[in-house]
Chain A
């Protein structure tokens, strides 16, 4: 796999980040260095091992569907600068 400017720009755009030229210049050798080192885990013997996405075994837990306390509309909107008619106002969708 080639870690180059095109790849970084593609990944950054998927992550919704605009990188400046100087950020790309700085990140490129660092990311090469990091990914090369991380590739080492390829050599780890994991034959037959299931992946762990949690460290402690957990079962799906469901609760009874009941009415509980929740935020008021006013509270939910209290931290936004962009609201209209009791809703969050987002950027243009189309």
Chain B
């Protein structure tokens, strides 16, 4: 049953939401034992909401199970951003996106697994003592990250469901691509970040993962819009993106990113992308090759320097004082804070905080942090120039299919970062992007990424849906 049909049936009282929610909870508990997609299953909240939706089945998401990435706060449900340092933290408020989906009748089923604070592309950098989510197609492979649990459950669940994910440098489209589902990351500021635990505040965006483009469009329609509580929220009203599905795309134009099909990208993936471009051609969509030399050359460095610098300040608040993990109050301020942080941050969190602190230190700040911000300006300009010629840019989402855990173990941290080469560009430039499945290699899904200009989610989803339905 499609998600739209499901919601209609709930609204018409043809489905008993409480009974249905029980079934969903049973299934996700079973899946979780095997695949580790949830850090917390919010059974109590889900059933309480189901009862209230049963009485009043209104709302655009009436009765729909929704999973939430762990870094987005849900009132009364342990929210850890995948980190041990937030163990036991039960937020006393809802993030704006949670308020919005609750108001539309969605049922919050749990908090999904992720790399600690979003620090990774494979969801293997989970917090101390937490479990790594496994790829739904092959348990020896990664789900991708950092919204790994979100993408995994979106693929594996048999009931209608939409996941709320979050991306800083590719954390929505990367796992969606590795798990064979659709991931949508909107324009920076399109969706309120209020209640999202920052990884890097000038890069973080909340988005959606689902089985279809329509589902992600449906979620974006609910969660987007101006929010006074987020100072970086774009002052534009929410739009309805759902009607883009099925719209004619003839005479639109896509740009194929030249460098994305050169060395570094798997040959079979390259041929899947070329096939996808031919598919667009059959829909009457024109194409041309677009080169993004600066983005492809310096994107990874500019992204990581920016993200790590911001992280090193954003994570300063985790010090065992007001929430999360506490230790015995001993010693002075610095001794106490250092003790809590050293014992409860994972390895990658420490690595990133150290590099970020270094990049902002007197004497190095101009060469690293400020330089990265200047490169960011140039990258934004490069994309803006491309969008004068085309409606949308396409490339593979990831240069490889989901790697095996044994392969990931052999990668150095730097090699890990380099895997993000195709996704950091749109994230640095704050551009909306979406991934749709476009092929299979070695039994593993391949994703096609479409990138649109700022606030052009409608056009982007229109093209993605046309390709998907072909």
Q: Which chain B residues lie closer than 8 Å to A76 at the CB level?
A: 92
Could you pull out 12 A-B pairs where Cβ atoms are within 8 angstroms?
A11-B354, A11-B361, A15-B353, A16-B334, A30-B412, A34-B417, A37-B414, A42-B367, A55-B428, A55-B431, A90-B321, A91-B333
Q: Which chain A residues lie closer than 8 Å to B35 at the CB level?
A: none
Instruction: Report yes or no: A82 in contact with B321, Cβ–Cβ below 8 A.
Output: yes
Instruction: Report yes or no: A91 in contact with B354, Cβ–Cβ below 8 A.
Output: no
- Interface flag for B338 (CB, 8 Å): yes
Q: Which chain B residues lie closer than 8 Å to A13 at the CB level?
A: 338
Contact A91:B92 (CB < 8 A) given known A17-B353, A56-B430: no
Instruction: Report yes or no: A31 in contact with B232, Cβ–Cβ below 8 A.
Output: no
Instruction: Report yes or no: B202 in contact with A14, Cβ–Cβ below 8 A.
Output: no
**Given the complex of chains A and B, what is the CA–CA distance between A14 and B380 in angstroms?**
32
Contact A91:B234 (CB < 8 A) given known A41-B298, A71-B93: no
Chain A, residue nearest B376 (CB): A52
Q: Which chain A residues lie closer than 8 Å to B367 at the CB level?
A: 39, 42
**Given the complex of chains A and B, what is the CA–CA distance between A41 and B112 in angstroms?**
35
Chain B residues 329 to 346 lying within 8 A of chain A, measured CB to CB, are 329-339, 341-342, 345
- Interface flag for B326 (CB, 8 Å): yes
In the complex, per-residue mask of A73-94: 1 if CB is within 8 Å of any chain B CB, else 0 = 0011011111000001111111
**Given the complex of chains A and B, what is the CA–CA distance between A5 and B351 in angstroms?**
14
Contact A58:B232 (CB < 8 A) given known A14-B361, A40-B301: yes
Instruction: Report yes or no: A44 in contact with B298, Cβ–Cβ below 8 A.
Output: yes
Instruction: Report yes or no: B302 in contact with A41, Cβ–Cβ below 8 A.
Output: yes
Q: Which chain A residues lie closer than 8 Å to B189 at the CB level?
A: 56, 58
Q: Which chain A residues lie closer than 8 Å to B294 at the CB level?
A: 44
Measured between C-beta atoms, what is the minimum distance from B191 to chain A in Å? 13
Can you add 18 more A-B contacts, CB < 8 Å, to A44-B375, A52-B380, A58-B232?
A1-B364, A12-B350, A15-B353, A16-B334, A16-B337, A34-B417, A37-B301, A41-B302, A42-B371, A52-B374, A58-B189, A79-B90, A80-B322, A82-B321, A82-B326, A82-B329, A91-B331, A92-B332
Q: Which chain A residues lie closer than 8 Å to B297 at the CB level?
A: 44
Measured between C-beta atoms, what is the minimum distance from B313 to chain A in Å? 10
Instruction: Report yes or no: B361 in contact with A50, Cβ–Cβ below 8 A.
Output: no
Contact of A54 among B232, B235, B338 (CB under 8 A): B232
Q: Which chain A residues lie closer than 8 Å to B374 at the CB level?
A: 44, 46, 49-52
Instruction: Report yes or no: B305 in contact with A15, Cβ–Cβ below 8 A.
Output: no
Main secondary structure of the interface of B (DSSP, over half): helix
**Given the complex of chains A and B, what is the CA–CA distance between A1 and B359 in angstroms?**
12
A-side interface residues toward B, CB under 8 Å? 1, 7-8, 11-19, 23, 27, 30-31, 33-35, 37-42, 44-46, 49-56, 58, 61, 63, 71, 75-76, 78-82, 88-94
- Interface flag for B429 (CB, 8 Å): yes
Chain B, residue nearest A80 (CB): B322
Contact of B322 among A35, A52, A79 (CB under 8 A): A79
Measured between C-beta atoms, what is the minimum distance from B427 to chain A in Å? 8
Instruction: Report yes or no: B329 in contact with A17, Cβ–Cβ below 8 A.
Output: no
Measured between C-beta atoms, what is the minimum distance from B310 to chain A in Å? 9
The 7 A-B pairs at the shortest CB distance, nearest first, are namely A55-B430, A51-B373, A79-B323, A91-B336, A46-B374, A81-B326, A75-B92
- Interface flag for B368 (CB, 8 Å): yes
**Given the complex of chains A and B, what is the CA–CA distance between A51 and B342 in angstroms?**
33
Measured between C-beta atoms, what is the minimum distance from A6 to chain B in Å? 13
**Given the complex of chains A and B, what is the CA–CA distance between A37 and B347 in angstroms?**
20
Instruction: Report yes or no: A17 in contact with B361, Cβ–Cβ below 8 A.
Output: no
Instruction: Report yes or no: A91 in contact with B378, Cβ–Cβ below 8 A.
Output: no
**Given the complex of chains A and B, what is the CA–CA distance between A39 and B358 in angstroms?**
13
Instruction: Report yes or no: A55 in contact with B429, Cβ–Cβ below 8 A.
Output: yes
Measured between C-beta atoms, what is the minimum distance from A73 to chain B in Å? 11
In the complex, per-residue mask of B200-240: 1 if CB is within 8 Å of any chain A CB, else 0 = 00110000000000000000000000001001101100000
Instruction: Report yes or no: B376 in contact with A15, Cβ–Cβ below 8 A.
Output: no
Contact A17:B326 (CB < 8 A) given known A54-B232, A92-B332: no
Contact A55:B380 (CB < 8 A) given known A15-B353, A31-B355, A37-B301: yes
- Interface flag for B284 (CB, 8 Å): no
